[in-house]
């Protein structure tokens, strides 16, 4: 019985995304379910749970684009190796942020309540309503389509954009290191290690 359960989980994670991508809401629901399922499976070791979630996030977020956006002006002056290292660090940072946020929602019900297309910017907005016993919270996912694939470019909770907040936060730290991306990489790596320890403990 237990083996059957694991088998179902493996198959679920391995099914190609595009089978669910008839429309963006279905695709997003499938990806969110993967993350929540990882949290709901209490038998998974924390390290492995996070790796699964990180994989899902990296597959579905426009990580490089967001990394570059939040780096702001420091991006231009950095060399290629620094940029590569920064993107790698940022992707993990993004995964840690999303995983940490979704952890709080893992025992709650949700529904994707609304989906609309921002024609001007060619962005798909999908509202996710998360229900608790005392109310609900709406998370809006900003999704962009590229070459028949969907990528999440931002998510908004209580009118607060994750990407805009990260850019402001990074900008403040970058200012202290004279917008040197190489120095910033060390700070980001250190923060990632700290966050990682918290999420797996």
Partner 1 sequence: MKNKFYIIFFIIFSLNSNVLFGAASDQVNTEPDDFATTKVEDEVYDPIEPINRAIFTFNNAADRIVLEPIAKGYKKLPSPIQSGISNFLSNLRAPLVVVNQILQGQGGNAVQSTGRFLVNSTVGVFGLFDVADKIGLDEKEEDFGQTLATWGVGDGFYIVLPLFGPSNLRDTTGMVMTMMTDPINAYVVSEGEAWIVPMRTAANAVDQRSKIIDEVNALRDNSVDYYAAVRSSYYQNRKAAINNTNDDELTPLPLISIEFE
Which strand (E) or helix (H) includes residue 117?
strand 109-118
Choose which of 27, 86, 105, 141 interacts with partner 1 (CB under 8 A).
105
As measured in angstroms, the least distance from the Cβ of 148 to partner 1 is 10
Query: Hey, how many other C-beta atoms are within 10 angstroms of the C-beta on 20?
Result: 17
User: CB–CB of 140/156 below 8 Å?
Assistant: yes
Among 16, 42, 80, 81, binds partner 1 (CB under 8 A): 16
Cα 71 to Cα 83: distance, rounded to the nearest angstrom = 10
Minimal distance in Å, beta carbon 45 to partner 1? Answer: 7
For the chain, helix, strand, coil in percent to 5 are 60, 20, 15
* Strand pairing class (160-161; 149-157): antiparallel
Window 162 to 191, contacts with partner 1 (CB under 8 A): 163-173, 187-188, 191
Binders of partner 1 among residues 25 to 84 (CB under 8 A) are: 44-45, 48, 51-52, 55, 58-66, 68-69, 71-73, 75-76
Does residue 107 interact with partner 1 by CB under 8 A?
no
Q: Is 5 in the site for partner 1 (CB under 8 A)?
A: no
Q: How far is the CB of 21 from partner 1 (least distance, A)?
A: 10
Instruction: Give the dihedral of Cα atoms 141, 145, 150, 154; nearest 10 deg.
Output: -30
Among 26, 30, 41, 97, binds partner 1 (CB under 8 A): 97
Which residue, 104 or 111, has its beta carbon nearer to partner 1? 104
Distance between CA 195 and CA 90 in Å, rounded?
13
Q: How far is the CB of 61 from partner 1 (least distance, A)?
A: 8
């Amino acid at each position: 019985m237990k083996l059957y359960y694991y088998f179902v989980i493996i198959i679920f994670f391995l099914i190609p995304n595009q089978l669910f991508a008839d429309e963006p809401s279905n695709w997003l629901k499938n990806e969110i379910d993967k993350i929540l399922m990882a949290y709901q499976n209490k038998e998974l070791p924390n390290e492995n749970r996070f790796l699964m979630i990180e994989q899902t996030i990296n597959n579905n977020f426009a990580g490089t684009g967001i990394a570059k956006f939040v780096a702001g002006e420091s991006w231009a002056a950095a060399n290629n190796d620094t940029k590569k290292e920064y993107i790698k660090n940022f992707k993990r940072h993004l995964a840690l942020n999303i995983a940490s946020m979704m952890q709080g929602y893992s025992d709650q019900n949700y529904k994707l309540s609304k989906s609309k297309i921002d024609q001007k910017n060619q962005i798909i907005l999908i509202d996710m309503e998360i229900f608790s016993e005392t109310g609900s919270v709406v998370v809006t996912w900003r999704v962009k389509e590229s070459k028949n694939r969907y990528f999440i470019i931002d998510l908004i909770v209580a009118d607060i954009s994750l990407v805009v907040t990260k850019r402001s936060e990074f900008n403040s730290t970058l200012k202290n290191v004279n917008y040197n991306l190489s120095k910033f990489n060390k700070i980001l790596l250190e923060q990632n290690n700290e966050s990682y320890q918290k999420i797996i403990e």
